[in-house]
Amino acid sequence: MDLSEKCTLLLNSEHSLPSDYVVELETVQEVHQVDKDIAGFVRNMLDDAKADGVDLLICSSYRSVARQRELFEQRIKKHMSEGMTYEEAKAKTGLSLAIPGHSEHNSGLALDIVTPRYQILDDDFDKTEAFKWLDKNAHKYGFILRYPKNKTYITKIKYEPWHYRFVGPEHAKRIKEKGLTLEEYLEELKNVSS
């Protein structure tokens, strides 16, 4: 799969990684790995943010399907220990953690980004200078805020101001300008081409 195809790859609860999907990884920001085709975009974004006085810190990047499964099962067990049934725990887990094989992290195209001064993955990240910089600039490097506020009914994942997905600068610019989710944008592309 070439980069242009990866840019429009939809991963969500209904769409999994293709069985023949192969990711070649490259390390960025010390220990984090991303698809080698986007590593330059990531480095440029981190460097330009730093030049603007903003420290971006990647806290999660590529994750194997096996690791995703491990995290998913741990979260289910945690919710069950709080008194939920297995089905309730699985449903709640699915709102904040993608099903193994359906996670954008499995593709090497997604990053969870925080800042050294605020490393908590919660809604208040959107009050940080790091988020404000990303909101204004991420699309220039091909990244979109993947799970925006008030779009859970479409993405099936709660608002995550720290989760960014590479879709390429051209697509990212259009998605940003129109205020769309990736699902909405791909549907729009499909309608235009048919």
The residue segments making up the domain with residue 50 are: 3-63+103-193
* Residue-level pLDDT, tens digit, the chain, 194 residues: 899 999 999 999 899 999 899 999 999 998 999 999 999 999 999 999 999 999 999 999 999 988 889 999 999 999 999 999 999 999 999 888 888 889 999 999 999 999 999 999 999 999 999 999 999 999 999 999 999 999 999 999 999 999 999 999 999 999 999 999 999 999 999 888 76
Q: Where are the beta strands (DSSP E) in 24-169?
A: 25-28, 32-35, 57-60, 110-114, 143-147, 160-166
Contact 130, 55 (CB under 8 A): yes
Is there a single domain that holds both residue 128 and residue 164? yes
Q: How many domains does the chain have?
A: 2
User: How many whole angstroms separate alpha carbon 105 and alpha carbon 94?
Assistant: 15
Q: Where are the beta strands (DSSP E) in 36-75?
A: 57-60
Is there a single domain that holds both residue 117 and residue 90? no
Task: Name which of 18, 32, 180 is nearest 107 in CA terms.
Answer: 18
Is there a single domain that holds both residue 96 and residue 107? no
Is there a single domain that holds both residue 78 and residue 168? no
Is there a single domain that holds both residue 144 and residue 112? yes
Is there a single domain that holds both residue 54 and residue 126? yes
Q: What is the reported pTM?
A: 0.91
Is there a single domain that holds both residue 13 and residue 27? yes
> What are the catalytic residues?
160
Is there a single domain that holds both residue 174 and residue 185? yes
